[in-house]
Amino acid sequence: MADQIVITEKTSQAKDVRAAVGSRYGDILPAEGHLLDLLEPEDVVSAWKRWSPILLRPEGLYGTRPADGGNKAAKLKAIREALRTAKWVWLATDCDREGQLIGQEILEHYNYRGQVMRVLFTAQDSQTIRDAFGRAKPNDEYASLYAAAVARRQADQIYNLSLTRTATVILGQGARGVIGVGRVKTPTLAIVCRRELETRNFVPQAYFEVVATANIAGGQFQMRYAPQERIVRREVAEKVVEAAHNFQGPLGVRVEDKRQGPPKLHDLPSLQKLCSSRFGWPASKTLEVAQELYDGQGKKIITYPRAEVRYLPESLISDVPKIVAGLQAGKSFSAIPVPGPPIIRKGASGSFHDKGLEGASHHAVIPNVSTVDNLLEVWPRLSIDEKKLFHVIARTYLAAVMPDFRYRQTTATLDVRGFPFRAAGRQPIDLGWRAAFPEWQPADEKGDEAQLLPALRNGETTKLENPTIEDKETRPPPRYNEGTLIEAMQNAWRFVDDEVLRERLKEAKGIGTPATRAEIIGGLKRQGFLVAQGKNIVPTETGLSLFGVLKQADPSLVDPGLTAQLESLLDEVVIGKQEMIGAIDAVCDVAQRIIGKLQEGAAAGRPPLLGAAAAGGTGSRPPTSAMKRFADSIARANGVKLPPGYTTSGPICRAFLDQHAPKKAGCEIPGVSGSRPASPAQMIFAEKLAQEKGIVVPDAAKASSAAMATWIDSNKAKKRGESRREPVNAQTKAIALKTKAPINRSRKLAANVTGKIKPPTAARESSGTDTPLQIPYGNKDVALKLGARYRAGQWYATPGVDLTAFCEHGWLAPDEPRPAPTGL
């Protein structure tokens, strides 16, 4: 057996490493994201199997166990066997906190004590990888990075599961599902819900502006009345018009030459915001396209895409000439006038800033210096979307090393009988970096600010003509799109009222991480709490109901500012300002306080619409016509307001009727049966169980979800085969801080654990028909591994394929049966 091995994060990465270094550093063994899962609470303390409102914090830390799914077991076994004889391990997983955890947790799980070297690369071409192995450092130097990942995973396990169970037990009477609470997902939902309520409740106010044409010897231009506050009464505007009619007077003219530096380089959030606004892409697509540019076969033309800062280390200044030359060799960038030598800007206002990278795992996203010379060869292989995104990244890099944009700002003022009028114009002197974006026009150069003023002299006489009143109306705050929502998550300090805390949190990185925010939003959409509306993203009525319930129970549950404070503590572990256990303690203290507050409020009764909120999702059935008519009549008779969504959501309408309709013995609400029928997922599982046991599913079970659940439980096999999982490493159950306890959760969910209720298996009967699927862009490999097939422009699963994983990903076509959402 080899005495050294290389561990990579995924198979494609292993192929690139093998192409770069061969077997020089031993066998190259890929993981598949996280190969280890955290233990469930009941695996640690048997009494925790029963859900109750308590803090699920074990003695020490949660241990790990082998993960299920895909080819994980085989890959973990291969690594385990190799570790038996390996004296050296080269960790070549991704260069961020999560990549550190994916590799190191395996070594900790198997108590490996050989020599470990950390290989970090921010691009995946052969030259970069070879250089990275040459610069490898002892893994001990990255102890704080691993500790930060452990702290985040442990904190989320404890916070999310404890509060999900507490909320479900205390608030869930009458609900049919889990009330999921996530440390990041729940505040993210709250951000969207608050904006939606602001928009819905917004009352527009009329105001007025006055504009007039100013005439001088050299031409004419528009001047606008510029009061300190808006004109809200028309009679005031009419007085201004009367004063301006045929008024003549001297202009006050101020001319200033100004300059503006280029925009910052891109991190992942800024790319997602720009692509959402410009191309209408969801955040997940931006990451998928960037990932393909980073590690796609025959591409590899950008650096690591999950960037969390917008600076470069000063050591990369030497790469500037080569990158510029490589880009300008292609037609797309050859016309951009980059000066020779390029302009290098250092410090916080520039692009190269070592201090700005403190605590960050990787730098801004830029073209890959090692492959930029091959751009002409690679370009034909890129898709249209890949070319769009590369254009953004490359032009931003070129702009960063170009001169400032210089312009002449002219401001003209006129005192019209005590009413100040104003005009402004901007005349470019030197486009500078703006030449890299010929079609771009910033918002502050549109409208009156963009007008070209004639040559003006201070004191020159002008005459106003045609003063006009413009009727205006205030507008509600704009709804979020995925890009602006990610920006709001990144700038969560804006949701904090305390000025001192606001200033401190401005330096933090918001809620979530660059790598997880898109998945957080996607998870909320799959669960039916958020939905796309054109380019915007809005909450469903179910999402609004859940937000209201949790906010009423304890505002801390939906407070982005509080989550940002906790994120800041977790981030401080990376730079050594916070101990791992101290950060976990802080999160646990918050969770314990919320649990206590929920327990205190339990005696007050469940909040209204709770059943609807917990039922979750757009998959709920609409109310019947009889239900809607009855709800209308009850509202009129009782003088109460109907809840939003009662006409489209059966659970919301039913909850309203349960609360307000008169109760009579032997009577039911019109259109509402006494029991909900079995769900499609229950029926699929029951039919499969019946076939296996040679029995028939009774009609009584089909008519009632509760009865079906009882029938399924009673007919399950009494004994299951022995678990195929490897035994849990006993040392990981209560490992101390100094041993760097392994930790894990799905890479995609990262810091956001959802409710731990497993969905029912959705294996289709052997009916001989295919199951339509909807596989998002960039998920081909995963879909094929799960058994999906592609034919005639349509993804599908063949008869007999287990649909559970497709349900969990939200990839079943809309009409296909699926498990109910399980909360946040």
Residue 666 lies in a domain: no
Q: 726 pLDDT exceeds 70?
A: no
Specify the DSSP element, H or E, that contains 391. Answer: helix 384-400
Residue 437 pLDDT > 60, yes or no? Answer: yes
> Per-residue pLDDT averaged across 785-812, rounded?
72
> Peptide bond preceding 814: is omega within 30 degrees of 0, i.e. cis?
no
Instruction: Say if residue 557 is in the same domain as residue 604.
Output: yes
Residue 669 lies in a domain: no
Query: What pLDDT is recorded for position 653?
Result: 74
Residue type, 534: G
Report the domain count for the chain: 5
Segment 615-649, tens digit of pLDDT: 444 344 567 777 787 888 778 777 777 776 677 66
CATH number reported for the structural domain that contains residue 237 in this entry:
2.70.20.10
User: Can you read off the two tokens belonging to residue 169?
Assistant: 């037990």
Could you give the CA distance from residue 525 to residue 147 in angstroms, rounded to a whole number? 31
Q: What is the pLDDT of residue 700?
A: 65
Side chain identity at residue 43, one-letter code:
D
Torsion of CA 771, 774, 778, 781, to 10 degrees: -10
SS3 793: coil
Contact (CB, 8 A) for 593 and 545: no
Domain shared by 10 and 140, yes or no? yes
pLDDT at 13: 93
Helix or strand run (H / E) with residue 408? strand 405-416
| CA 378, 379, 385, 388 torsion-angle sign | positive
Q: Give the residue from 152, 566, 142, 150 showing the smallest Cα distance to 359.
A: 142
CA 263, CA 350: separation in Å to the nearest integer? 9
| pLDDT at 744 exceeding the cut of 60 | no
What Cα–Cα distance (Å) separates residue 365 from each residue in 84, 248, 287, 328? 39, 56, 12, 18
Residue 289 pLDDT > 80, yes or no? yes
DSSP structural state of residue 224:
E
Residue 610 corresponds to which tokens in the numbers above? Answer: 């709770």
pLDDT band at 119 (very low <50, low <70, confident <90, very high): very high
Q: What is the pLDDT of residue 780?
A: 67
Same domain, 468 and 603: no
Q: Could you tell me the two tokens for 692?
A: 């296996």
Contact present, 820 and 651 (Cβ < 8 Å): no
Could you tell me which residues come within 8 angstroms of residue 467 by beta carbon, excluding any fewer than 6 positions away?
210, 211, 212, 240, 241, 244, 245
Residue 364 lies inside a defined structural domain of this protein: yes
Q: What is the pLDDT of residue 644?
A: 63
Residue 188: strand, helix, or coil:
helix
Domain-ending residue, one of 686, 709, 739: 739
Output the pLDDT for position 615: 44
The C-alpha atoms of residue 33 and residue 30 are separated, in whole angstroms, by: 9
- For the chain, what is the mean pLDDT? 82
Q: Are residues 537 and 487 in the same domain?
A: yes
Q: Per the domain annotation, does 684 fall within a domain?
A: no
Q: Does one domain contain both 275 and 394?
A: yes
Q: For the domain that residue 299 is a member of, what is the CATH number? A: 1.10.290.10
Identity (one letter) of the amino acid at 32? E
126 plus 213 within the same structural domain:
no
Q: Please report which confidence band the pLDDT of residue 432 belongs to, taking 50, 70 and 90 as the band edges.
A: very high
CB 383 within 8 A of CB 320: no
Q: Are 162 and 54 in contact (CB under 8 A)?
A: yes
Residues 427 and 552 in one domain: no
Query: Chain-centre distance of CA 223, in angstroms?
Result: 44
- The whole-angstrom separation of Cα 452 and Cα 440 is 18
Rounded Cα gap, residues 502 and 497, in angstroms: 7
Report the pLDDT value the prediction gives residue 663, as an integer from 0 to 100. Answer: 47
Helix (H, G, I), strand (E, B) or coil at 430: strand
CATH at residue 186: 1.10.460.10
* Residues making up the chain, counted from first to last: 824
524: Cα within 13 Å, side-chain hemisphere: 34
216 in the same domain as 192: no
Residue 110 confidence class, pLDDT cut points 50, 70, 90: very high
Clarify whether residues 365 and 422 are in a common domain: no
How many CB atoms lie under 10 A from the CB of residue 145? 24
C-beta separation of 404 from 433 below 8 A: yes
Q: How far is Cα 701 from Cα 754, in angstroms, rounded to an integer?
A: 29
- The β-bridge partners of 409 are 256, 426
Phi/psi of residue 253, nearest 5 degrees: -120, 130
DSSP β-ladder status, 88-92 and 115-118 = parallel
**Higher local confidence (pLDDT), 785 or 10:** 10
> Based on the domain organization, do 141 and 164 belong to the same domain?
no
Inform me whether the pLDDT recorded for 791 exceeds 80.
Answer: no
Write the pLDDT tens digit of every residue in 57-79.
999 999 999 998 888 999 999 99
Q: What's 118's DSSP letter?
A: E
Q: Say whether both 17 and 130 belong to one domain.
A: yes
Average pLDDT over residues 444-471: 85
Convert the pLDDT of each residue in 658-705 to its tens digit. 667 664 433 343 444 444 566 555 666 777 777 777 777 776 677 666
CA dist., res. 230 & res. 240, Å (int): 13
Helix (H, G, I), strand (E, B) or coil at 151: helix
Residue 658 CA to residue 414 CA, distance in Å, equals 66
Structure tokens given for 623: 């109310």
- The CA R_g of the chain, rounded to the nearest whole Å, is 31
pLDDT for 378 equals: 94
Q: How far is CA 316 from CA 268, 354, 366, 368, in A?
A: 19, 10, 11, 11
Query: With bands split at pLDDT 50, 70 and 90, how would you rate the model's confidence at 808?
Result: low
Please tell me the pTM assigned to this model: 0.69
For 248-275, the pLDDT digits (tens) are 999 999 999 999 999 999 999 999 999 9
- pLDDT attached to residue 689: 74
At 449, the amino acid letter reads E
Residue corresponding to tokens 């602001």: 198
Among 473, 497, 529, residue at a domain's last position: 473
Of 687, 704, 739, the last residue of a domain is 739
Does some domain include residue 436?
A: yes
- Condensed to tens digits (0 to 9), the pLDDT of residues 369-382 reads 999 999 999 999 99
* Residue 608 banded pLDDT, cuts 50, 70, 90: very low
Running DSSP on this structure, what letter comes out for residue 820?
P
Residues 341 and 359 in one domain: yes
* 84: CB partners within 8 A, 6+ apart: 1
The domain that holds 83 is classified in CATH as 3.40.50.140
What percent of the chain shows pLDDT beyond 90? 53
pLDDT for position 442: 64
Domain contains 699: no
Query: Six-digit token pair at 724?
Result: 């195929």
C-alpha to C-alpha distance for 362 and 573, rounded to whole angstroms: 17
Element (H, E) at 334: helix 331-334
- Residue 764 gets which letter from DSSP? P
Q: Name the DSSP letter for residue 448.
A: G
Residue 294 lies in a domain: yes
Task: Answer whether residue 193 shows pLDDT above 90.
Answer: yes
- Give pLDDT, residue 641: 72
What residues contact 439, with CB distance under 8 A and at least 6 apart? Answer: none
Q: Which two tokens stand for residue 184?
A: 């990041």
pLDDT per residue over 131-161, tens digit each? 999 999 999 999 999 999 999 999 999 999 9
pLDDT for 338-365, tens place per residue?
998 999 999 999 999 998 887 777 899 9
Q: Supply the range of the domain harboring residue 436.
A: 206-261+405-473
End-to-end CA distance of the chain: 46
pLDDT at 759: 36
Are β-strands 536-539 and 530-533 bridged in parallel, bridged antiparallel, or unpaired? antiparallel
Residue range 517-563, pLDDT digits in tens: 999 999 899 888 999 888 899 999 888 988 988 888 888 889 888 88
312 contacts 265 by C-beta, under 8 angstroms: yes
575-607 tens-digit pLDDT = 888 999 999 999 999 999 999 988 887 655 544
Q: Is 138 helix (H, G, I), strand (E, B) or coil?
A: strand
Task: State the Cα–Cα distance between residues 491 and 561, nearest whole angstrom.
Answer: 10
349 inside domain = yes
Report how far Cα 465 is from the mean position of its chain's Cα atoms: 53
